[in-house]
Homo-oligomer: A and B are copies of this chain.
Amino acid sequence: MTSIGVRRTLKDVAELAGVSPMTASRALRGIGTVAPELAQRVRAAAAALHYVPDPAARALASAHSRSVIVLVPSLANAVFIDLLEAAQAVLAPAGYQVLIGSTHYSRDEEEELLRTYLAHRPSGMLVTGFERSEAARRLIEDSAVPCVFMMELTDAPGVHCVGLSQEAAGEAVTAHLLATGARRVGYVAAQLDARTLQRAEGYRRALRATGCYDPALELLSPARSSLRLGGELFLEFLERHPDIDALFFCNDDLAQGGLLEALRHGIRIPERVRVAGFNDLDGAGCSVPRLTTVRTPRALIGELAATMALALMRGERVGRTAVDVGFELIVRESA
């Protein structure tokens, strides 16, 4: 029934309800003390006119848009989609629009995104990890917009974060491989973001503790993570280090790529080489053999981070600024 270009404004709603625009505004926002009867009339009028507040006018008048920036390194990685979906599930019902940004693992792109998005005067922001350019750090700091850091943890006071110790998780995986008898354990990684390197640290710590550490057994590729790359690195590793008895891949994609190449070449897993991944993505339970990995509670991280941001946006002080969601070693068939 609505014809083209009909834009209802607060004034229209107010007139229909027989009140001033200001009262209508208050009623619709559920603010202050508006007589219940009036509020009801305003809501009815708004509904009748299909009134939708103009976010631009709102932002301009109040100096705040009802939006929350969420920055992740990539959309091609299920880990970050889980984060996004969970955050959105919290923020949307609270009336906030989520502005999704992918940095493509680039500091420059993150900086650019921050500059662009901050111009919208968001009410809050969720970003991934702590590794970023100095300029980006300052943009966040100076904007004074409540910010929650996801995935990793820090002790720094006043910094709000929800995540897990990537190093501890990496150590746990390696410890498991050692506990099942492995002695020559390799680490295969790609993308090489901060978390991947933190897992490497955990890997080293576990090996050093048992005197098994050998720097030659680390294969770090800056290339983008993929099944294909995992397969290539797997074969390369076996060729270079035939004495290997376990491989810890920094993520499930690489690990599954390795498992597939193993199948293709008749390399028996875990008999010949134990294989472990990281993240416990959907497919980990379906591979042949099923993948031993670490379950990272991504959805929980997104949910708690969004909830924490919401609290900060309301001006509340949150008690626990660093929330450790932990991780869970999932032992399946591959190691």
Q: Which residues of A contact B (CB under 8 A)?
A: 2-6, 52-60, 65, 75-76, 78, 81, 84-85, 97, 99-100, 102, 115-116, 118-121, 138, 142, 144, 226-228, 231, 257, 260, 263-264, 282-283, 285-288
Whether A286 lies near B257 (C-beta < 8 A) is: yes
Q: Contact check, A286 vs B228: say whether CB atoms are below 8 A apart.
A: yes
Q: How many copies does the complex hold?
A: 2
Can you offer 29 A-B residue contacts whose CB atoms are under 8 A? A2-B138, A4-B144, A52-B115, A52-B118, A52-B119, A53-B119, A54-B60, A54-B119, A55-B56, A56-B58, A56-B121, A57-B60, A60-B60, A75-B75, A75-B85, A76-B78, A76-B85, A99-B99, A226-B282, A227-B282, A227-B286, A228-B282, A228-B285, A231-B286, A257-B286, A260-B286, A260-B288, A263-B263, A263-B288
Q: Name the residue on B nearest A142 (C-beta).
A: B4
A54 to B286, CA, bound (A): 49
Most chain B beta-carbon neighbours within 10 Å: one of A56, A118, A288 = A56
Partner of A65, one of B2, B6, B56, B115: B56
Leading 9 A-B pairs by shortest Cβ distance: A56-B59, A227-B286, A56-B60, A56-B56, A52-B119, A100-B100, A263-B288, A227-B283, A75-B81
A116-B97 CB under 8 A given contacts A228-B286, A286-B227 = yes
Select which of B52, B55, B58, B287 is within 8 A of A260 by beta carbon: B287
Question: A252 to nearest B CB, angstroms?
Answer: 12
Q: Which residues of B contact A59 (CB under 8 A)?
A: 56
For the complex, what is the distance from the CA of A144 to the CA of B4, rounded to whole Å?
7
Q: Given the interface contacts A56-B121, A59-B56, does A142 sit within 8 Å of B2 by beta carbon?
A: yes
Complex-state Cα separation, A226 to B240, whole angstroms? 35
A227: B residues at CB distance < 8 A: 282-283, 286
A56 touches B3 (CB 8 A): no
Select which of B58, B75, B121, B264 is within 8 A of A288 by beta carbon.
B264
From known contacts A75-B81, A282-B226, A283-B227, infer whether A55 and B119 are also in contact, taking CB-CB under 8 Å: yes
Q: Complex Cα distance A119/B55, Å?
A: 7
Q: Nearest B residue to A77 by beta-carbon distance?
A: B81
A263 vs B102: C-alpha distance when bound (angstroms): 36
Chain B residues with Cβ below 8 Å from A84 are 75
